[in-house]
Amino acid sequence: MAHIHLKNELPGISGLLFDFPETAKPLCDLAETLLRKPHSLTSGERELIAAYVSHKNNCNFCHSSHAAAATAHLKDDYELIDAVLADINTAPVSDKMKALLIIAGQVQQSGLAVKEEDVLKAKNAGATDAELHITVLIAAAFCMYNRYVDGLSTWSPKGREPYKEMGKRMAEVGYLRTGQ
């Protein structure tokens, strides 16, 4: 049961966005910018970062919904997500993506946890300053989103199935809410 009364039965951040449109617009605009606007990292890679950070934060709703969006973008059936969560170092992603995910995990712990040698490793693997920037910003933003969702104890469906359509919609339509 949510810590506050919501006038809807939508799960996770969806219910909060519906009931609080004044904060919904900037939150959706930020997600749209971070995850879908043109960038050298694909939307699938950026959704993977969001899902990874949300998993590390134990935020079931955000992890599940963004993992579903990543799978929709990447035309994958969770094998990549599962591999990244099992062990970044052996996951079938580029060395650059491994390095960026490690940095995202450090940001999830603390911005001060990002180590210069890991930034250098990412750069040596081909990461640009813009890719480092978006990685850190996605990780930081998803710490906020995760704490928003879980701090108000919104409900979250269990399993992957309830998120598949949501992830597909996020990948195809995005985060901009109608009427905003």
Whether 6 is in a domain gets the answer: no
Q: Give the chain's length.
A: 180
Which residues neighbour 113 within 8 Å (Cβ) at sequence distance 6 or greater?
Answer: 106, 107
What's at 154, amino acid-wise?
A: T
Here the tokens at position 48 are 């993977």
Looking at the domain assignment, is residue 125 inside a domain?
Answer: yes
Give the domain range for residue 77: 43-172
Q: How many domains does the chain have?
A: 1
Asked if residue 125 lies in contact with residue 90, where contact means CB atoms within 8 angstroms, the answer is no
pLDDT confidence of residue 151: 96
Q: Over range 79-97, report the average pLDDT.
A: 97
Q: Residue 96: inside a domain, yes or no?
A: yes
pLDDT (mean) for 41-45: 98
**Residue 179's pLDDT band (cuts 50, 70, 90):** very low
Please check whether residue 126 lies inside any domain of the structure: yes
Letter string b/e over residues 64-79, b meaning 16 or more CB atoms within 10 A of that residue's CB: bbbbbbbbbbbebeee
Q: What is the pLDDT of the chain when averaged over all its residues?
A: 95
For position 76, which CATH number holds?
1.20.1290.10
Share of the chain above pLDDT 70, in %: 98
- Residues of the chain with pLDDT > 90: what percent? 94
Q: Is residue 26 part of a domain?
A: no
User: Per-residue pLDDT for 180 more than 90?
Assistant: no
Other Cβ atoms closer than 10 A to 9: 9
* 14 contact partners, CB below 8 Å, separation of at least 6: none
Residue type, 23: T
pLDDT of 177: 62
pLDDT single digits (tens) 135-172 = 999 999 999 999 999 999 999 999 999 999 999 999 99
